[in-house]
Each structure stands twice: as C-alpha cells, then as structure tokens.
Amino acid sequence: MSYLFILLSVFFMNVQASDHMLETSSDIQIETSDELVVYPVSFFSRYQPDNALDMVLQLPGFQLNDGTSERGFIGAVGNILINDSYPSIKQDTPSSILSRIPANQVEKIEIIRGQVRGIDLQGRQIVANIILIENTEASFRWISFLQKSTTGPYKPGGNISLIHQLGQIDYTLGFEIEREANGERGPEFVFDSDGELIETRYDRERQFGIRKFGLSLNASTLIGKTQVNFNGKAGNNNGPDNQYRKVTDEISGIEHQVYFKDSRNRPTFELGFDAERHLGQNLKAKSILLYTYHDLNLRNFQSVSNPAGIQERQRISDSDTLTQEGIGRLEFSWDGFSKHNIQFNIEGAKNSVNQSLIQTNDTGAGPVVIIVPGANSKVEELRGDFEFKDTWDLSRWEIEYGLSAEISEISQSGDTNQKQDFFFVKPRLVATYSATNKVLTRLLVSREVAQLDFNDFISVAVFEDDDLALGNPDLRPDKTWVTELSQERRFGDLGVVKLTTFHHRISDVLDLLPLSDDFEAPGNIGKGRKWGIIMEATLPVDWLGLTGSRLDVKARWQDSSVVDPVTGQSRVLSASQIGFGGPPAIRFQDNGTEYVFDIAFRQDLDSARIAWGWDMAAQAERPRFKVNELEIFEEGLEFNVFIESTRWFGVKVRLEGRNLLNYNEKRDRTLYQGRRGLSIISSQILRKRTPGSRALLSISGSF
C-alpha cells in the first residue's frame, strides 16, 4: 500500500498545480473538439518515432489495448482504427500491425471520443485512429534486437516490413523471427504443519530452443465504390522449455534430481476479409469474414532420479489441442435522422476446441496409461449476436443507447457429453457531457456477458505441482451490471488527467468451484461485487526545469466481495495469474489485484536527438482460493530504464535495462488436510523465482 500512497500523492500534487504549470507552449496545432483530438504528425517529431506504434505509445492519456484472443470479433480487436476501420484480424495484434507501418507513412492520429463520420466505436469510449498518407512510395521498415538476461542466454530477433502499391492495391508485407531465451531460478521451501523446514527445492528454468516466426500480409484496394481489405498471418512457435530441480530432504540430508521438459509445436494461421461501401446517401454497410486456426502439439516430460542418479519415475503427457474459429459479421450505419447515427450489427460464429491427451507413468515396470478425466474432449459453440444502438448528438451532450442480444449453444463430446443453450439481453447507455472542448464527463451503464475460455471445459495434468487442472462442462458465463463515471481534463497540448470510478454487480461469478475435498475446477460460485477507481494521466514536467519531459501515470485500486463456496464467508474474488512467470512485466489490466500502478518518465533532448527515461510498476498480491489450498502470487517493484538516439544516419539505437531491481516472484501455497479454512494446515510451500535483469539493444530504421 505504500506504493499506492506515493503514487496518489504525486497525482494530487500535480492535479492541484495551476493550469499554466501543466500546459506547454508549442507552435503545433492540436485540434480539439467534443468528439475529436487530432494530433498532426509534427506533434510526434520530438519523439523521433520509427513506426506508427512509437507514435501511438506517446499519445497523451491513451492506453493501447491489444484486445484478447477470446471468441467474437469486437472484444478481440483492441482500440485501434486504421483509416476509420478496425483491422479484420484477431491474432495479429494492433501493436504488431502498427509496428510494421513506418512513421513517415502516417499523416495524423485522431483520438475519437464521440460519434464522428458514422464510425462505430463498438462500445469503446476512446479509440485511436491512424490516418495514413495516400499514394506514397515504397518503404521498408526493419528492426533487429539482442537481449541478454542475468539468468538466461542471448535472445536475438528482428522483423522487416514493406509498404508498397501493386497497381491499385496498397499492401504491407511483414516477416518476424526470434529465439526465446528466458530463464528463471530460485528456491522452493516446504514446511510441515509445525512450520519446520522439511524440504528444499532449487529450480533452474531455461527457455533456449524455442523459435518463433511469423509472416503477415495486410492489403486494401477500392473496387468500384467498395473498399476491400485483406489481412492474413501465419506462423509457428516450437521448441523445448527445460527445468532442472534439485530436491534436498532437510531431515536426512539426502538429495535427488527432478527434470521437467515441455516441448511444443504450434502452427497458426488467420485470414480476415472485409468490404465496406455506401448503399445509399445515408446508409453504410460493412461485411467481415474471419477464420483462425491454432494447433498446439505439446509434450510434457518429467523424470525423477534417486540420489545415485538412477531414474525411478518417468511421466509423459502427449496432447494435441486444435482450436478453430469462424466469424461472419455485418455492420450497418444510418444517419438519415438529424443528430442521430443508428447502427445495427449482426454476427454469427462457430468455435471449437478439440483436445486429445495420452498420459503415462513409468516407475520401472514399464509405462502405465493414466486416465485424466475430461481430458479427451471436444467443445463446440454456435453463437449469434444482434445489436441495435443510436447515438444522439445534443450539442454539449451525446447520448448513446442500445440493446443487444446473444444466443448460443455450447456442446461437449468425448469424455463428457453435454449441451447447453444460452440467451442473454445486454442493454447499454452512455451519456457524455462536454463542459468545454477540454473537459469531458461520461456515465456508462451496461450489462456485459463474459466470454468463456473453452480450455476451462477440458482437463490437463500439471506435473510441476503433481496435480490436475480439471475442466468443468457445466460452465456458464458470468453476467455483470457495469456502472462507470469518469471525467477527463486536458491541459495544453500534452497534459491529460482522467479519473474513473466503477462498480460491477456480478451474477454467476467465475471462480474456482469445489468438486471434492481434493479437487476444484473453474465454475460459477454465485453473486459478487467489485468497485474501485482508475487514474490515468500524462503530465508535462517542463516547469521543474526538465525541458522536453513528461510523466505518464496509471493507477488502479479496487476491492471486491463474494461468498466463498468452501467456508461460506465473504472474501475477495480470486485473482488470475497474469503477470507471473516469463519475462518480468507488471501488466496494467484488471487481473484481480487490489492495486496496480505504473509511472513512466521520459525526456527528449531535441538538439542532441537523444531521449532517456525510466518507468516503475508494482501490483498487490493476487490470491487464488482452491478447495484445500490458498495460493498467493506476489512480485516486487519493477524498474526499467532506457536511452535512445537517432543521431547516426537516421537509424534509431535504443538500449534498455529491464527489471534492474531484479525482484523476486513469490508463490505462497498453504495446504490443508481437508477443506481450506475448515481443517488444520498440513504444509506450506514457498517459492521464490528470480526472473533476472535484462539488457536489450535494438537498432531500427526505414528506407
């Protein structure tokens, strides 16, 4: 909580500062209206951007959202438009697409926060719209990088892209490749019910042979009066992940070895197509077709050796998980009524996850097949979405109101045979008031339905914990009444402060549901609530004598409550494991933490063509409530620095130091003899992992 106190203190000091302290003098003309904030390309010149992503990341008060891989189109495409349209693709994230667009191809960037040009924001309150220059010459953009970690080997990688025209077709072709080379190490301590240390484990994890590559194509053209866009991406992710564990019995002093190896091969591809045209003076229509394919072949291997180094046990799990999704979508926008923009969208989709798994256990007499209940299953969904909404412009007020409905059928076959039908109605109201062009207040009330993760329907083995992660064929999506009130204030060209308060009333909360005294599965545990406050700010700090500098601050505090299905007592919602494991990163998103903050400083020295800065981030501990275990994840303070320059031949050279404080990732497991909180503690397992500090050198440019 001390981190949060420091953060809020900085925030309130800046908010109370006079307007002239937060404003910066500039000859750059920023166009601001109730619905739009338009940044010309000259606004970004001080940051020496290499690509469109560099530009978007410097937008004041804007947080880039790459979307999700969840079912459906709109929830997955993030908050980026390119020439007024969402890219018709899901797996190729907005940040990846933007990174392939050279900065010299961008004409301007708009922050859209209201109804303009009949653009359907798809329920988002703010999006960034990148407007590209038309009819430009061919341009190559490239980047190469090399990373070295204190706990892992060198990690090389790079990508190259080409923007060009073929006749009347504008296209961007990109290729990327890298070798994963992360490593973690650290001890794990096992204590008995009396708190005495009985076992010490030391882990060394190395991801060295994993290779990633991808090929992408984005193309657009005008056929008659129809704007046609094509997006495609194909790639693979393959290689081993090795973990070595030394186990010491603290009572006898005897040691033995455990070896884990996860080998994967994951080919993927995605094809997206959309066409948009005016069907009349006031009617615009758009069609979208999208198909995604993932095939994950995974082998989990565990070997246990005795003190003499002789193998005593071998476990192997071979699985193949095929995920497919097909989407067809139609969007209509009509502005025939004065001050109204009416939109109607319809979407149909078919999704499937098909997993096969064979697990064996060999203790010396030969492999024995182990049955994992629910592991060999296929989950399919047929879904339809319908949405109608109207945006009503009342001068300083803008009212968006609408109603949508979702109907779906989810069936599971294989180890479990079951079918469920769902129907949901989702009303929505957004009222926006602009006291001036720089002060905006917004109220949101809506009913939202969560997107189920089909992997929660299927069971898998977890060798490292000697456990099973069971699936649940009876899952239902949780439903939430969301209420948000926010106010945004802009100061000059750069300063932005936005505060948002929120309250969520949730039914059918998705959490961990007890199945027995030993096992749980994802499930619905009843009603819950969540409430809190979010602060986002970009503050110029030239008034401190730091010319060309800025401070970007993001913070969220929240609390929640739900009745625990094990103890019957009120508690907070279980948190996800986002932000734990792999390269250090405190991610600013709602993963159930009580608080999270991220503060970033940057100074651009124009005459020297050098920029430098730092950022620090932290989040609260994240509990997960299992039937016979309380699991808590926690990290320390992450601190990163960078320096970059474009002084030589127009090439950007950037050096970063990541996780310089080298925090420990902690996982604290309290295990009970029976149900959690209702029986005595049987043991406690405390794990500390050091992800390591990292140095990253990148060189990029365009020609």
The count of structural domains within the chain is 1
Q: What pLDDT is stored for residue 62 in this prediction?
A: 87
Q: What pLDDT is stored for residue 586 in this prediction?
A: 52
CA distances from 366 to 125, 312, 314 (A): 60, 11, 10
Q: What pLDDT is stored for residue 577 in this prediction?
A: 52
* Boundaries of domain holding 34: 2-373+380-393+402-414+427-631+641-653+661-702
Mean of pLDDT values over 399-414: 93
Instruction: Report yes or no: 440 and 429 within 8 Å, Cβ to Cβ.
Output: no
Mean of pLDDT values over 316-325: 94
d(CA 404, CA 383) in angstroms, rounded, equals 13
Is-above-0.85 flag for pTM? yes
**What is the sign, positive or negative, of the torsion defined by CA atoms of 52, 55, 59, 64?**
positive
Instruction: Report pLDDT digits (tens) over 88-125.
Output: 777 778 888 888 888 888 999 998 887 787 777 776 77
263 pLDDT higher than 60: yes
Q: Write out the two tokens for 431.
A: 């009222």
% of the chain residues with pLDDT over 90: 55
d(CA 380, CA 378) in angstroms, rounded, equals 7
With respect to residue 187, please indicate whether it lies within any of the assigned structural domains.
yes
Enter the DSSP assignment of 90. Answer: S
360 pLDDT higher than 70: yes
Instruction: Report yes or no: 479 and 506 within 8 Å, Cβ to Cβ.
Output: yes
Closest by CA to 385, choosing from 420, 350, 342, is 350
Enter the DSSP assignment of 41. Answer: G
Q: Write out the two tokens for 590.
A: 């709602």
With respect to residue 636, please indicate whether it lies within any of the assigned structural domains.
no
Residue 330: HSE in the Cβ half-sphere, 13 Å Cα cutoff: 8
Mean of pLDDT values over 616-643: 92
CA distances from 64 to 54, 129, 244 (A): 11, 12, 37
Bridge partners (DSSP) of residue 418 are 412
Sheet containing strand 127-132, edge to edge, reads 31-32, 36-40, 106-112, 127-132, 80-82
Instruction: Report pLDDT digits (tens) over 217-229.
Output: 999 998 988 999 9
d(CA 111, CA 59) in angstroms, rounded, equals 9
Residues 6+ apart with CB under 8 A from 35: 112, 113, 114, 115, 116, 398
72 pLDDT higher than 80: no
d(CA 13, CA 274) in angstroms, rounded, equals 48
Closest by CA to 532, choosing from 4, 11, 64, 124, is 4
* DSSP string over 560-621: EEEE-TTT-SEEPPPP--TT-SSS-----S-SS-SEEEEEEEEEEETTTTEEEEEEEEEE--
Instruction: Report yes or no: 271 and 218 within 8 Å, Cβ to Cβ.
Output: no
Q: Write out the two tokens for 329.
A: 């979508």
With respect to residue 243, please indicate whether it lies within any of the assigned structural domains.
yes
Closest by CA to 408, choosing from 425, 394, 420, 426, is 420
Instruction: Report pLDDT digits (tens) over 376-390.
Output: 999 999 999 999 999
Angle at 420 between CA 416 and CA 423, to 5 degrees: 160
Instruction: Report pLDDT digits (tens) over 182-205.
Output: 778 899 999 999 999 999 999 988
Instruction: Report pLDDT digits (tens) over 129-169.
Output: 999 888 777 888 899 999 988 887 888 999 999 988 888 89
Q: What pLDDT is stored for residue 13 in this prediction?
A: 40
Q: What pLDDT is stored for residue 27 in this prediction?
A: 61
Neighbours of 27 (CB within 10 A): 6
CA distances from 377 to 241, 364, 472, 473, 512 (A): 26, 30, 11, 10, 21
d(CA 126, CA 119) in angstroms, rounded, equals 12
d(CA 87, CA 95) in angstroms, rounded, equals 11
Q: Write out the two tokens for 211.
A: 């290779």
Burial environment of residue 573 by CB neighbours within 10 A (0 to 12, 13 to 18, 19 or more):
buried
Q: What pLDDT is stored for residue 76 in this prediction?
A: 67
Residue 196 or 691, more confident: 196
Q: Name the CA radius of gyration of the chain, rounded.
A: 26
The mean pLDDT value of the chain amounts to 87
Instruction: Report yes or no: 416 and 473 within 8 Å, Cβ to Cβ.
Output: yes
d(CA 699, CA 515) in angstroms, rounded, equals 53
Angle at 546 between CA 541 and CA 549, to 5 degrees: 55
CA distances from 445 to 111, 112, 207, 629 (A): 22, 20, 45, 37
With respect to residue 369, please indicate whether it lies within any of the assigned structural domains.
yes
With respect to residue 558, please indicate whether it lies within any of the assigned structural domains.
yes
For residue 132, the one-letter residue type is L
Closest by CA to 632, choosing from 640, 641, 622, 642, is 622
Mean of pLDDT values over 455-481: 87
Instruction: Report yes or no: 450 and 72 within 8 Å, Cβ to Cβ.
Output: no
Residues 6+ apart with CB under 8 A from 437: 32, 33, 34
d(CA 252, CA 266) in angstroms, rounded, equals 44
Closest by CA to 680, choosing from 84, 140, 193, 263, is 193
Instruction: Report yes or no: 620 and 597 within 8 Å, Cβ to Cβ.
Output: no
CATH number at 142 reads 2.40.170
Angle at 467 between CA 461 and CA 472, to 5 degrees: 65
Confidence label for 542 from pLDDT (cuts 50, 70 and 90): confident
Enter the DSSP assignment of 452. Answer: P
Judged by phi (left if over 0) then psi (alpha if -120 to 50, else beta), residue 363 lies in alpha
Q: Write out the two tokens for 666.
A: 């902690």
Which range has the worst mean pLDDT, 281-295, 389-403, 577-591, 650-664?
577-591
Residue 488: HSE in the Cβ half-sphere, 13 Å Cα cutoff: 23
With respect to residue 548, please indicate whether it lies within any of the assigned structural domains.
yes
Mark 262-297 as b/e (b = at least 16 C-beta within 10 Å). Answer: bbbebebbbbbbbbbbeeeeeebbbebebbbbbbbe
With respect to residue 422, please indicate whether it lies within any of the assigned structural domains.
no
Residue for token pair 């070895």? 257
d(CA 646, CA 455) in angstroms, rounded, equals 45
Confidence label for 462 from pLDDT (cuts 50, 70 and 90): confident
671 pLDDT higher than 90: yes
Mean of pLDDT values over 59-80: 74
Burial environment of residue 396 by CB neighbours within 10 A (0 to 12, 13 to 18, 19 or more):
exposed
Instruction: Report yes or no: 381 and 350 within 8 Å, Cβ to Cβ.
Output: yes
Q: What pLDDT is stored for residue 22 in this prediction?
A: 53
258 pLDDT higher than 80: yes
410 pLDDT higher than 90: yes
With respect to residue 191, please indicate whether it lies within any of the assigned structural domains.
yes
